[in-house]
């Protein structure tokens, strides 16, 4: 069997890929629940910093083990900085939303990321937006309105912060798209984790708190879950076309809803449920038909770029993977 055939078989394991992605979604949901717990004792600045620091400690050995080609040297530092600032901003907003809102609501708002990716990609890199994607975006924004409930007494201004997390995460994913032709996933993860740790350390100059002993363990666990979730997600996207794996990232919303109900007795009203369904449907459609997509803290967008390049270089009749599976376009 030639190497190309072996690669095609490796990239065609949707069940295994789905299990990895769902496992990553569970890790991220548990991480969110722990963020909600520690946020009662620490400021948002502290939580964000230790999430990045602990993740860095766990990710560095993985990077050393993988030994990326050409190391971590890059000619695209400005794009790495944009990606890191956007991703870090999304993290600040997301963790604040987790503290102030129900866990499920915060995760629903961050799940709007795929809706903003096509818009930002069009404005920034002139990536065309499919007609069905435009329709899905409209459906998704209707769902957002149902969750935010603007103009009603139940409207919570903090939900705008949660929505901002989705926008910033989308910007981070599009910046990954800009780098994906030359930067391997492991290098993108390295720069985000290092820059995120250094930048998030700055506010601690004036807002440092000494965590209680039990909080230390939770902070370490948050970093571990973030690192493991990142690795599992990357592995999942390497086992099957991204268009097939993208929908499983919405397992994060399901797991977060269950955790919120079990530990905090949280429940969603009817309008939020309808909005959640619309956002998930729109996100899945957008994910399947857009080259760049992923949830916050991931680098799955890198996978799709490689798929797109492979699609250009293969015959339409030569392999099932050339029949539009990479982008969801038929």
Is residue 296 scored above 70 in pLDDT? no
Instruction: Report the distance separating Cα 256 and Cα 277, nearest Å.
Output: 15
So what's the pLDDT on residue 291?
54
To the nearest whole percent, how much of the chain has pLDDT over 70?
A: 81
Is residue 122 scored above 90 in pLDDT? no
Average pLDDT on 84-95 reads 96
So what's the pLDDT on residue 1?
53
Average pLDDT on 169-197 reads 85
Higher pLDDT, 289 or 222: 222
pLDDT band with cut points at 50, 70 and 90 for residue 309:
very low
pLDDT band with cut points at 50, 70 and 90 for residue 114:
confident
Domain segments of the chain: what residues? 3-296
The per-residue pLDDT for range 36-69, each reduced to its tens digit, is 999 999 999 999 999 999 889 888 887 888 776 7
The alpha carbons of the chain give a radius of gyration, in whole angstroms, of 19
The per-residue pLDDT for range 187-238, each reduced to its tens digit, is 888 899 999 999 999 999 998 988 888 899 999 999 899 888 888 887 887 7
Instruction: Report the distance separating Cα 327 and Cα 304, nearest Å.
Output: 8
Residue 322 burial by Cβ neighbours in a 10 Å radius (0-12, 13-18, 19+) = middle
So what's the pLDDT on residue 321?
31
Here the tokens at position 290 are 């857009």
Report the phi/psi class of residue 163: left, alpha or beta, with left for phi > 0 and alpha for psi in -120 to 50. Answer: alpha
Identify whether the C-beta of residue 157 lies closer than 8 Å to the C-beta of residue 97.
no
To the nearest whole percent, how much of the chain has pLDDT over 90?
A: 38
Residues 235, 175, 248, 56, CA torsion sign: positive
So what's the pLDDT on residue 327?
31
So what's the pLDDT on residue 97?
96
Measured from the Cβ of residue 292, the count of other Cβ atoms closer than 10 Å reads: 28
Is residue 294 scored above 50 in pLDDT? no
Identify whether the C-beta of residue 39 lies closer than 8 Å to the C-beta of residue 95.
yes
Identify whether the C-beta of residue 280 lies closer than 8 Å to the C-beta of residue 325.
no
- Model-level pTM? 0.80
So what's the pLDDT on residue 215?
92
8-12, 175-179, 217-221: least confidently modelled range: 8-12
So what's the pLDDT on residue 238?
76
Instruction: Report the distance separating Cα 139 and Cα 168, nearest Å.
Output: 20
Residue 314 burial by Cβ neighbours in a 10 Å radius (0-12, 13-18, 19+) = middle
Measured from the Cβ of residue 145, the count of other Cβ atoms closer than 10 Å reads: 14
**In 3D, which of 88, 289, 283 has the Cα closest to residue 175?**
88
**In 3D, which of 4, 16, 31 has the Cα closest to residue 235?**
16
The per-residue pLDDT for range 145-160, each reduced to its tens digit, is 988 887 666 678 899 9
Higher pLDDT, 321 or 136: 136
HSE-up of 109 (CA within 13 Å, CB side)? Answer: 30
Instruction: Report the distance separating Cα 80 and Cα 103, nearest Å.
Output: 30
Is residue 18 scored above 90 in pLDDT? no
């Amino acid at each position: 069997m030639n190497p190309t055939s072996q690669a095609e078989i490796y990239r065609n394991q949707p069940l295994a890929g789905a299990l990895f992605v769902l496992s990553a979604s569970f890790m991220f949901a548990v991480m969110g629940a722990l963020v909600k717990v520690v946020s009662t004792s620490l400021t948002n600045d502290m939580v964000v910093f230790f999430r990045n620091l602990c993740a860095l400690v766990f990710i560095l050995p993985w990077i050393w083990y993988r030994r990326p080609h050409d190391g971590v040297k890059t000619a695209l530092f400005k794009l790495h900085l944009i990606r890191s600032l956007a991703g870090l901003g999304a993290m600040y907003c997301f963790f604040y939303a987790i503290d102030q809102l129900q866990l499920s609501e915060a995760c629903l708002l961050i799940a709007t990321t795929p809706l903003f990716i096509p818009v930002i990609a069009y404005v920034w890199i002139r990536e065309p937006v499919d007609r069905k994607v435009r329709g899905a975006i409209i459906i998704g924004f209707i769902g957002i309105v149902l969750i935010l409930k603007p103009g009603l007494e139940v409207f919570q201004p903090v939900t705008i912060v949660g929505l901002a997390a989705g926008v910033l995460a989308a910007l981070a994913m599009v910046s990954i798209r800009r780098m994906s032709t030359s930067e391997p996933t492991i290098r993108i993860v390295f720069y985000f984790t290092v820059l995120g740790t250094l930048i998030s350390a700055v506010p601690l100059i004036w807002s440092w708190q000494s965590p209680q002993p039990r909080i230390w363990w939770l902070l370490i666990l948050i970093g571990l879950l973030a690192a493991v979730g990142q690795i599992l997600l990357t592995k999942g996207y390497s086992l099957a076309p991204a268009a097939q794996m993208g929908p499983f990232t919405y397992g994060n919303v399901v797991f977060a809803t269950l955790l919120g109900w079990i530990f905090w007795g949280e429940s969603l009203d009817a309008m939020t449920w309808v909005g959640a369904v619309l956002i998930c449907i729109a996100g899945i459609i957008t994910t399947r038909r857009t080259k760049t997509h992923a949830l916050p803290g991931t680098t799955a967008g890198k996978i799709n770029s490689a798929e797109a390049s492979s699609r250009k270089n293969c015959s339409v009749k030569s392999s099932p993977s050339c029949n539009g599976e990479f982008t969801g376009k038929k």
